[in-house]
Structure 1
Amino acid sequence: MILFHWLAGSVLALIWLSRVWDSARGIPTIADISQAEWDRKPGPGNRLAIVVPACNEQESIEQALRRLLALDYDNYQVIAVNDRSTDRTGEIMDKVATASGDRLKIVHIAELPAGWMGKVHAMWTAARQSDSEWILFTDADVMFRPDCLRRAITYAEAERADHVVLFPRIIMKRVGEKMMIAFFQLLFVFGHRPWKVADPKTKDHMGVGAFNLVRRKAYEAVGTYAALKFEVVDDMKLGKVMKNGGFRQRVVFGDDLIEIRWARGARGVVRNLTKNFFAVMSFQTWRSLGACVAMVILNLMPFWGVPFAPGWTRIPYSVALGSMFLLYAGVWRKVEIEPWYFLLHPVSTILFIYTMLKSTFVTLHKGGVEWRGTFYPLEELRKGLV
């Protein structure tokens, strides 16, 4: 038993230490476009279309659109899509458009064609309404700072990038959502190393629904969103096809250039992820269950080992826990989640495992995913995976 604990604890310590080392070297290499060096005007041209799909977003859509219309960037148009909303979303969009001149164009979709996810179809439809050099795909609840677009295009020009992903500031007001989002950040350290995205030799890729800025030529070269018709995790998969297509991809920080209230409390995080988690596992049950086992071993075993492992075998478990704390401390510097949330790590781990299992078994039981009033069969979702 002592040998087991030495081996298990040492492996866990090495894994967590490697993540600390990798992220400590990698995160500082990610540009922050809120810094003064990016506060300048981009070159001439760079016409841009901002695509905003919305389904039943009456609470946020007016403020989001007005923020977009107030950007200090000259050469752009906002194309907002009312995707079969049953609330006042479409009415509010039309009201804002009436006072905006040609800057805001509204597209109303009454029916969803077979073989499409609703949001993907909405974004594809909107992108076809313009021939701009750049397209920015964003969400209907994202709040933009006026200088955001100008800075992003300036950075894209400087880096000769084809795809720029800007991490949003997530507005968090409750302990539950802070706890869950802190854990979510740690998952990214394992699954998607953002500092490796720019390296063409790696498979690391990134996409964020709040801000996916793409060069139209690259977007069309990978098949547009028509190549992702039935993808639940459409933002990440756009990043995947762009990276696989050999295009230059960059991720950036931006402080409060864009903000979003992604979920309200731990329940809100669980609800939002229930739709996506099984999709992240490519709708494969063995991968979903394997991920749950891995989360138990990596995230819970160190907390168990420190108080219960015999004698000196507690040392490697302590090293693993110390490494976790260092990652939480690093997260705090970027997303304003205090390091003491490390103490709630076992709780958030259990909730994430619950969410993964719920997403898996609900999808299997229903035979598909139901989202915003539309049911998507599992068989078609699996066929549509990229």
Structure 2
Amino acid sequence: MTLWTVIAVVSFVSLLGWVWLLLAQGMFWRTDVRLPPRAEPAVWPSVAVIVPARDEAEVLPVSLPSLLAQRYPGRAEVFLVDDHSSDGTGRLAEELGARRGGLPLTVTVPGSEPPAGWTGKLWAVRHGMTVARQAYDAEYLLLTDADIAHEPDSLRELVAAAAGSQLDVVSQMARLRVATGWERLIVPAFVYFFAQLYPFRWVNSARGRTAAAAGGCVLLRRTAAERAGLPDSIRQAVIDDVSLARAVKRSGGRIWLGLADRVDSVRPYPRLAQLWRMVSRSAYAQLRHNPLLLLGTLLGLALIYLVPPAATIIGAVAGRPLVCAAGLAAWLVMTGTYLPMLRYYRQPLWLAPTLPFTAALYAAMTADSAVQHYRGRGAAWKGRTYSRPS
């Protein structure tokens, strides 16, 4: 078998891979998965909004007022858990609550640092759930991050969707900030890759095994949380949103995940180093800290994303029309599937052909995640480092 035969075979395998992704991967590329049918209940259930926050003074003035301003017909209170911040997060939250009014706000601090075997966020969520339960037995819990801003009707829409479709989890992937050049290059691709890994239609199927959620906005039925043993059953999870969804679905609950129109992340990632850390801190955990999965992922990224442009260019330069045609066809399918995500993020469509470059960056971030793990610095976030779960 000659070298050109190998190159041609690899090029056609890449093209077949893209045909399969286009037709058989849950239509992951579509961006029309929005909140399911809403039905306003006769009596609105009570909701406890739990916000774990560690060193979030930079974003809190934008996000917290949006929660306090929720127009919700039933009882709802906000419980912000100051996770031993060093920047005055708790004090700022109390000031914002006193100044803005709106929903009742309780600011609380866990009595201790996370015990061994707990991530900081889940320990804070557990503390917030305990404090909320002591105040009243809320029927729903809204778990939302401190960098997420909600439109005034967000909570009402989430609860109506849960009630209208009998769902135990309703999660919306907040629209991430896209303002700088690096954000434009990396952020839409981040959501695109997530949807490719966890196609929303598969997640939302009661018969399917795929489960995922977006941790920035998760409405969770309290009885479903109790049935799944949350958050204790996932206390070591670095990727806690996916683990939460799996626990609920395994315990017989119904989950839903889609893109948000009125929920936004206000956290800036203006530099490549910040985006790199956002991805690399959990990428190897996503692969279960398995070297074979890491190798397979890197080879898969190369075959699916890097081979098409390489085959197109090499085939054109070397006068190999079949290689060039296979590579170009795969590149065109890849570009076409990325266009809806760019439209959703209101970005220029000429960015679509640059997806292979972005995929190469993600491959490097994933490899770096493994390197940092073996150096003892994996899954580090705001002064804490989490080892591989036992």
**Structure 1 length-normalised TM:** 0.91
8 Å contact from structure 2 (residues 78, 103) kept in 1? no
Give matches, 1:60-209, under 5 Å: 60-74=59-73, 75-99=75-99, 100=101, 103-109=104-110, 111-115=112-116, 116-130=118-132, 131-209=137-215
Change in CA separation of 1:10 and 1:217 when aligned onto 2, cut-off 3 Å: same
How far apart, CA to CA, are the structure 2 residues paired with 1:186 and 1:263?
18
Change in CA separation of 1:341 and 1:110 when aligned onto 2, cut-off 3 Å: farther
Paired AA for residue 176 in structure 2: I
How far apart, CA to CA, are the structure 1 residues paired with 2:286 and 2:45?
34
Match of 2:17 among 15, 18, 25: 15
1:270 to partner: Cα distance: 0.5
How far apart, CA to CA, are the structure 1 residues paired with 2:91 and 2:166?
39
8 Å contact from structure 1 (residues 178, 337) kept in 2? yes
Match of 2:233 among 215, 227, 231: 227
8 Å contact from structure 2 (residues 48, 77) kept in 1? yes
Q: Which residue is equivalent to 2:376? A: 366
How far apart, CA to CA, are the structure 2 residues paired with 1:299 and 1:102?
47
Paired AA for residue 21 in structure 1: L
Structure 1: gaps of 5 or more residues: none
| Cα-to-partner distance string for 1:239-286 (whole Å, 9 max, x where unaligned) | 111122221111233313434336224322111112111111111222
How far apart, CA to CA, are the structure 2 residues paired with 1:241 and 1:172?
32
- Structure 1 runs, 4 residues or longer, greater than 4 Å off: 22-31
> Is the deviation greater in 253-262 or in 155-164?
253-262
How far apart, CA to CA, are the structure 2 residues paired with 1:335 and 1:22?
24
Change in CA separation of 1:305 and 1:13 when aligned onto 2, cut-off 3 Å: same
Paired AA for residue 375 in structure 1: T
Any idea what SS the aligned residue of 2:107 has?
Answer: strand
Paired AA for residue 293 in structure 1: L
8 Å contact from structure 1 (residues 169, 260) kept in 2? no
Aligned length: 377
Paired AA for residue 239 in structure 1: A
Q: Which residue is equivalent to 1:237? A: 243
8 Å contact from structure 2 (residues 284, 369) kept in 1? yes
Paired AA for residue 222 in structure 2: R
**Structure 2 length-normalised TM:** 0.90
8 Å contact from structure 1 (residues 12, 298) kept in 2? yes
Match of 1:382 among 379, 384, 389: 389
1:143 to partner: Cα distance: 0.7
How far apart, CA to CA, are the structure 1 residues paired with 2:155 and 2:202?
24
Paired AA for residue 5 in structure 1: I
| Cα-to-partner distance string for 1:29-75 (whole Å, 9 max, x where unaligned) | 95424x9x75x744313100111000000111133221101011032
Q: Which residue is equivalent to 2:346? A: 336
| Cα-to-partner distance string for 1:57-113 (whole Å, 9 max, x where unaligned) | 011113322110101103211000000101110111222344548711111125214
How far apart, CA to CA, are the structure 2 residues paired with 1:185 and 1:229?
25
Q: Which residue is equivalent to 1:275? A: 281
How far apart, CA to CA, are the structure 2 residues paired with 1:361 and 1:257?
34
8 Å contact from structure 1 (residues 299, 349) kept in 2? yes
How far apart, CA to CA, are the structure 1 residues paired with 2:13 and 2:144?
41
Same amino acid, percent of matched pairs: 22
Q: Which residue is equivalent to 2:356? A: 346
How far apart, CA to CA, are the structure 2 residues paired with 1:46 and 1:280?
35
Structure 2: gaps of 5 or more residues: none
| Cα-to-partner distance string for 1:2-42 (whole Å, 9 max, x where unaligned) | 44334322221122123223468566695424x9x75x744
RMSD, aligned CA: 2.3
How far apart, CA to CA, are the structure 2 residues paired with 1:262 and 1:222?
34
How far apart, CA to CA, are the structure 1 residues paired with 2:363 and 2:301?
7
Match of 2:366 among 356, 367, 371: 356
Any idea what SS the aligned residue of 1:126 has?
Answer: helix
Any idea what SS the aligned residue of 2:109 has?
Answer: strand
Any idea what SS the aligned residue of 1:45 has?
Answer: coil
1:44 correspondence with 2:43: yes
How far apart, CA to CA, are the structure 1 residues paired with 2:229 and 2:268?
29
